[in-house]
Chain A
Amino acid sequence: MPVAVRVPETTDDPPVRKLYRSADGRMLGGVARGLAGHLGLPVVWVRLAFLGLFLAHGPLGVLLYAAFWIAVPLGVGGRSSEPRTLFETTADGRRRLRKPDRGQAVALIALLVGAAVFAGTVDLGGDANRYVWPTLLVGVGVVLVWRQADNARRARWTEPGSRKRLFQLARGLAGVALVGLGVTVFLVVRGSAAQLGTALTAAMAVLAGMALLAGPWLIRMSQDLSEERTMRIRAQERAEVAAHVHDSVLHTLTLIQRSADDAAEVRRLARAQERELRNWLYRPEGTGKDEADEPETVADAVRRAAAEVEDKHGVPLEVVVVGDCPLDERLAAQMQAAREAMVNAAKYGGGGGAVQVYAEVEGRTVFVSVRDRGPGFDLDAVPEDRMGVRESIIGRMRRNGGSARVRTAPGEGTEVELEMDRAEETDG
């Protein structure tokens, strides 16, 4: 079967290699590292090649690099290394300047030396030499601003801290200042300073005119955009509510209509639906959506166990939870015991009305009580071979270092109290 063979083959293949600039461990635009990753070469080679191009042909190397920078999107590709910042966090939690690693330092020095050599040796003849330094200044400024734009893009992946943001702002400003300086020097070198004033005035006039002409339109457009965004968000919300009501409430109502004669079934459906809708309405954002995965906290576990028992046995369980804490191994055992108690209460004590489930996290202790108002039973009269209460509840609690108490008497209902200390390593 060629198809059956092909499938594992394609999954074994490395994913299609696309050229990305590397956001990690880059020096300028991450072009060299990205290329190195793409071509499977050491990054130093690529860097040296660029440097060689730059020294030999000057503008060609720069243009090539710039073209890559502009055209190739920033990615996390290239060599995967841990994200590096200028700072590192020491063991005691303080941040300090990261020690530059040797390769990068060498590359940086090489770059600087190359630039200096280039600037010193380049001879465009006569007057043109005066333009080299301003051009370099402008170039460095542009590079800085471009890196800034990259960072804005990267910020979508990583949440920058306020200090980092300040740093970025400073860098952007420095870039702009450098460009401004370069241009000014250009103008000063080129003509007399006297012409600078006229040129600036003209430029300002043009800018102001453009702002006046395009300003209102731009403002309107941004307003329209934000309005449209709000509308879209609202529409999405409405659609979500509609979808939820359709999926759950309407279906339940249909089921209820169909099984209208079966009072118990109707009650079960209604209760399950009520609980679900309540969760959906009152739970904070982002929770309750992934029902499938395991509960992580005591409150969650108790509620979920109660919901399952309620659905399965058709007996209402009223759950009250005070406080909350993450589940550990011992608490998980307690939750299992509690679940067993709920099942028992629903099975044998459900006739007397709702089963009350109460869970409380108090300091290091977690207490769960499950109480029904059913007929109750005589604890001593339970035969030895009945495992439910003795093993699943009392035994399980004891084995895990907790305690269980069953209070019952014929005619008075049953209450199971489970008490367990939280494991030591979890902090309160």
Chain B
Amino acid sequence: MTTTGVQEAGETAERRVRVVLVDDHRMFRTGVQAEIGRTDETGVEVVGEAADVDQAVAVIHAARPEVVLLDVHLPGGGGVEVLRRCAALTAAPEDPVRFLALSVSDAAEDVIGVIRGGARGYVTKTITGADLIASIFRVQEGDAVFSPRLAGFVLDAFASTDAPPVDEDLDRLTQREREVLRLIARGYAYKEIAKQLFISVKTVESHVSAVLRKLQLSNRHELTRWATARRLV
């Protein structure tokens, strides 16, 4: 993974992404490292590792990776705390650090927590290596990565406000965004969604990003209410 000479290896190797791994289980870090860290084949270069919040913040600031694979449950305050203390990097206008949450838990409170903290996606640890690599690249490009489960949570969050979306009301998901989410929840890949809805993959990705944006910013009130109703907060 340290050899970097072979640039002409293939199309994936042309794109490079620098990744920091944050997880308190050394075994898991080693596993992920083995799965995605073969830089020549995957294009992923693991430039740092951390096992708790303080380490993570230090490593991320020092290495300035493009993507951080972030565990949700960490000693020292959890993934949300890392996101909070790296907020400046996430919001940086140039080369922002993107966070992809990678957790064994897919409980609603964990998922919603880190997404609202600013993570660009959420995948569970059962994900395959290839899918994880694809997700990392997608996040690096600024797109959101939704697992079917996460799409389900979001739909659920907005299900109570099922009134027809009003254009000026940015808080609601548009019909199209809902459709996209529904297909994600049904296990469709972005490519398949594009085919089904007769739109481009880029459009699908921008819909998903829009959902994430609304989830983080505009819909605080609604989500809080939702979370409170379910005793998540």
State the A residues within 8 Å of B (CB). Answer: 281-282, 284, 318, 320-323, 354, 356, 358, 360, 362-363, 369, 371, 415
Least Cβ distance of A368 to chain B in Å? 10
* Residues A321 and B187 in contact in the complex (CB < 8 Å), given A360-B182, A362-B162: no
* Contact in complex: A356, B187 (CB < 8 Å): yes
Chain B contacts of A354 at CB under 8 A?
187
Contact for B148 among A318, A323, A363, A415, CB less than 8 A: A318
Chain A contacts of B107 at CB under 8 A?
281-282
> Sorted from nearest, which 6 A-B pairs have the closest CB atoms?
A356-B187, A320-B152, A358-B186, A282-B107, A322-B155, A320-B185
**Interface pairs (6), CB distance under 8 Å:** A320-B148, A321-B152, A358-B185, A358-B186, A369-B186, A371-B188
Chain B contacts of A415 at CB under 8 A?
186
If over half of A's interface residues share one DSSP class (helix, strand or loop), that class is named, otherwise mixed; here it is strand
Alpha-carbon distance A67/B148, docked complex (angstroms)? 70
Contact for B156 among A284, A318, A322, A356, CB less than 8 A: A322
Chain A contacts of B231 at CB under 8 A?
284
Chain B contacts of A362 at CB under 8 A?
159, 162
* Contact in complex: B156, A371 (CB < 8 Å): no
* Contact in complex: B149, A320 (CB < 8 Å): yes
In the complex, besides A318-B148, A371-B186, 18 extra interface pairs with C-beta distance below 8 angstroms are: A281-B107, A282-B107, A284-B231, A318-B187, A320-B151, A320-B185, A320-B186, A321-B152, A322-B159, A354-B187, A356-B148, A358-B182, A358-B186, A358-B187, A362-B159, A363-B162, A369-B186, A371-B188
Alpha-carbon distance A422/B148, docked complex (angstroms)? 25
Chain A contacts of B186 at CB under 8 A?
320, 356, 358, 369, 371, 415
Least Cβ distance of A80 to chain B in Å? 39
Could you give, for residues 127-154 of chain B, a 1 whenever the CB lies within 8 Å of some chain A CB and a 0 otherwise? Answer: 0000000000000000000001101100
* Residues A358 and B159 in contact in the complex (CB < 8 Å), given A369-B186, A371-B187: no
* Residues A322 and B152 in contact in the complex (CB < 8 Å), given A282-B107, A369-B186, A371-B187: yes
Among B155, B186, B187, max chain A CB count under 10 A is at: B187
Chain A contacts of B187 at CB under 8 A?
318, 354, 356, 358, 371
Among B105, B151, B159, max chain A CB count under 10 A is at: B159
Alpha-carbon distance A284/B107, docked complex (angstroms)? 11
Least Cβ distance of B96 to chain A in Å? 30
Among B149, B151, B186, max chain A CB count under 10 A is at: B186
Chain A contacts of B162 at CB under 8 A?
362-363
Least Cβ distance of A289 to chain B in Å? 18
Least Cβ distance of A135 to chain B in Å? 56
Could you give, for residues 103-123 of chain B, a 1 whenever the CB lies within 8 Å of some chain A CB and a 0 otherwise? Answer: 001010000000000000000
* Contact in complex: B156, A323 (CB < 8 Å): yes
Chain A contacts of B105 at CB under 8 A?
282
* Contact in complex: B149, A318 (CB < 8 Å): yes
Chain B contacts of A369 at CB under 8 A?
186
